[in-house]
Amino acid sequence: MAQDREEWGTRIGFILAATGSAIGLGNIWRFPYQVYANGGGAFLLPYLAALLLAGIPVLIIEIALGADTQLTTPLAIRKKIKESEFIGWWAVLNGFIVNAYYVVILGWAMMFIFFSFTQPWAGTGTNEYFFNSFLVSWFPVIGVVAIWAINYGILWFGVSDGLERANKLLVPAIWILVIVLAIRGLTLPGGIEGLNFYLEPQFDQILNADVWISAFGQIYFTLSVALGIMITYASYQPEGQDISNNAFIIAFANTGFAFLAGFAIFPVLFAAFQNPTEAVTDGIGLSFVVLPEAFAKLPGGDLTAATLGGLFFLMLTMAGLSSSLSLLEAAVGPFHEKLDISRHKALNTLAGLGAIFSLGIALEGPLGFSPGTPLQMLTILDTSSATFTLPMIAFGETLIFAWVYGADRIRETANEVSDFHIGVWFDWLVRIVVPVALGYSILRNAVDQPGLIAPFLIMLSAVVASLVKERRDVVTEEVTGTEPTDGPVTEGGE
Amino acid sequence: MAAIETSALIMAILGFVVLFGGLGVALYVALAGGFGYEEEEAEEEPTEPV
């Protein structure tokens, strides 16, 4: 096992890095749209319920696991339940794939900081420019190289000197940027109409099951759980650090940022377009097509368009960068520990592989791999890793720690060191509410994609096998009075 | 300039109070215990690897 284990220098360093990981592209381009599309302000009620009932409990499990074991994700899971180590590696692999295409999008965002000033879409329009000029040019490749170089450079300096320092700059900066953009948006002519559109509640939507599913679905994506990040990040704290309160701070800061992002986006759309409801969208279309056009149409001319566009893409790049760093660290840390190789060697290997992967995605357009659909590879990877695989990993992880290892033991671990204590309600949430919400989401995906049933059954079989083995070892221990020699580490001595 | 709808204003206030109020309380509790690791490190004892 590697001896030169790195640590955060301060508690605020860990909180900022974890918050930076959670705040990413989704907070800016997905959450505000989800609010609008799912009943406006009324969506906040199911969303807050999902945050408290499902998001924070899973976050507590992950932080507790990392803080208690002082090991990165797969090894932390192995230390608790030996047979389930594969879930940790699955999470690391999935996070690595997510990072590969995430860096491509960050590369676009970084290039658009500069394009906000040159406005290359002035003659053709943003839609035509983005899909038919930008994506088939070499600019995305330049962006990928630049973002991977930044990621590599920061992680080279390690956890405290690299990650912590970078997040101490990035996270406050994105908060300042979103506040500036929200104030400017609300003071634009028509800005308040955008705010009404964003937040006016349609309370009948609260009875719509799809709205609740959207709320619970969004929670797992936004909190960086089941990607191997939070366990690894929490493990870099010294022993005996707070668990529950850190989880609350990270969750509220992440959701607060997303809520504020809506104040920056919707007013701009209403100030710029005559029919703003037709322009409202999410994801890549919102960020790289609709908003650049909106900034160009705002009163104030080119200088306003350049300034607001530049600030928006700077915020998008910085928010994504802190998440991308965490995804890479979630892979570097475990390889460093498991293979007992130096951090730099693990970083060289994984950053090299990741960069090649990202370049493959970015080259789809300029090399014409899929003419007319330059986003095909990125879309496939996003759907398979974020939409399908992530809920499965979260489901397996929650089942194993709530039912096999024991929710009560996680709770006790958290209560021993936390600023405030969590009650028995936590056990029921992670045993019942979280698996039901995730299981339902997975089954709905499986209805659309029957091929998902196979990996889901493999995951379920592994969970059941761990459960059976754990019970058998407990019985053996009770009968013979001896600790099991192979199998789950029951931590009877702790 | 259009006026803000009362219902939208209520949801905005609710969002701010719950999210930033929750964040504020959690940060206040955390700050009371200090944001550094120095004190805890001084009391640390080496642990046996499992």
Other residues' Cβ atoms within 10 Å of the Cβ of residue A279: 18
Other residues' Cβ atoms within 10 Å of the Cβ of residue A475: 10
Instruction: Give B20→chain A minimum CA distance, Å.
Output: 6
Full residue range of the structural domain in which residue A235 is found: 11-366
**Size of chain A in residues:** 494
Place of tokens 């990650």: A163
How much is the average pLDDT of B20-37?
A: 86
Interface test with B, best of A70, A249, A270, A417 (most B CBs within 10 A): A249
Whether A111 maps to a domain, the answer reads: yes
| Cβ of residue A425 closer than 8 Å to a chain B Cβ | no
Residues of A with CB below 8 A from B36's CB?
10-11
The DSSP H or E segment spanning A344 is helix A343-362
Long-range contacts of A295-302 (CB under 8 A, 24+ apart): A295/A116, A295/A268, A296/A119, A296/A121, A296/A122, A296/A126, A297/A272, A297/A273, A298/A188, A298/A268, A298/A271, A298/A272, A299/A188, A299/A189, A299/A271, A302/A119
Other residues' Cβ atoms within 10 Å of the Cβ of residue A172: 12
Residues of A with CB below 8 A from B41's CB?
238
Verify whether the Cβ–Cβ distance B29 to A420 is below 8 Å.
yes
- CA A23, CA B19: separation in Å to the nearest integer? 14
Residues of A with CB below 8 A from B7's CB?
41, 199-201
Whether A491 maps to a domain, the answer reads: no
Whether A456 maps to a domain, the answer reads: no
- Nearest CB among B7, B15, B49 relative to A259 is that of B15
SS3 of A249, please?
A: helix
Whether A295 maps to a domain, the answer reads: yes
SS3 of A23, please?
A: coil
Q: Tell me which residue of A185, A93, A100, A82 sits closest to A389, measured CA to CA.
A: A93
- Nearest CB among A41, A249, A419 relative to B33 is that of A419
Whether A474 maps to a domain, the answer reads: no
> What are the structure tokens assigned to A18, written together?
């974890």
The answer to whether A6 touches A160, Cβ cutoff 8 Å, is: yes
Tally of domains in chain A: 1
Interface of B with A (CB under 8 A): 1-5, 7-8, 10-12, 14-16, 18-20, 22-23, 26-27, 29-30, 32-37, 40-41, 44, 47, 49-50
The pLDDT value recorded for residue A382 is 87
Residues 223-242 of A with CB under 8 A from B: 237-242
Tens-place pLDDT, residues B31-45: 887 767 755 444 445
Spatial CB neighbours of A229, under 8 Å, sequence gap ≥ 6: A18, A21, A95, A326, A327, A329, A330
> What are the structure tokens assigned to A460, written together?
């379920």
Model pTM score: 0.90
Residues of B with CB below 8 A from A160's CB?
none
User: What is the full per-residue pLDDT of chain A (494 aa) written as tens digits?
Assistant: 445 689 999 999 999 999 999 999 999 988 988 888 888 888 888 999 999 999 999 999 999 999 999 999 999 999 998 888 989 999 999 999 999 999 999 999 999 999 999 989 988 899 999 999 999 999 999 999 999 999 999 999 999 999 999 999 999 999 999 999 999 999 999 899 999 989 989 888 888 888 888 888 788 878 989 999 999 999 999 999 999 999 999 999 999 999 999 999 999 999 999 888 888 888 899 999 999 999 999 988 889 899 999 999 999 999 999 999 999 999 999 999 999 999 999 999 999 999 999 999 999 888 887 777 778 888 888 888 888 888 889 999 999 999 889 999 999 999 999 988 999 999 999 999 999 988 888 888 788 777 767 777 777 777 777 777 766 665 566 566 555 444 444 443 33
CATH code (residue A239): 1.10.4160.10
The pLDDT value recorded for residue A279 is 80
- CA A104, CA B1: separation in Å to the nearest integer? 40
Residues of A with CB below 8 A from B29's CB?
245, 419-420
The pLDDT value recorded for residue A470 is 67
As for the ipTM of the complex, it is 0.85
- Nearest CB among A189, A241, A253 relative to B1 is that of A189
Q: Which residue of B has its CA nearest to A250?
A: B23
Whether A105 maps to a domain, the answer reads: yes
The pLDDT value recorded for residue A493 is 33
Long-range contacts of A128-136 (CB under 8 A, 24+ apart): A130/A288, A130/A289, A131/A374, A134/A108, A134/A288, A135/A365, A135/A374, A135/A375, A136/A365, A136/A366, A136/A368, A136/A374
B46: confidence class by pLDDT, cuts 50, 70, 90:
low
Verify whether the Cβ–Cβ distance A249 to B26 is below 8 Å.
yes
Other residues' Cβ atoms within 10 Å of the Cβ of residue A33: 18
Whether A182 maps to a domain, the answer reads: yes
Q: How far is CA A126 from the centre of its chain?
A: 28
Spatial CB neighbours of A486, under 8 Å, sequence gap ≥ 6: A82
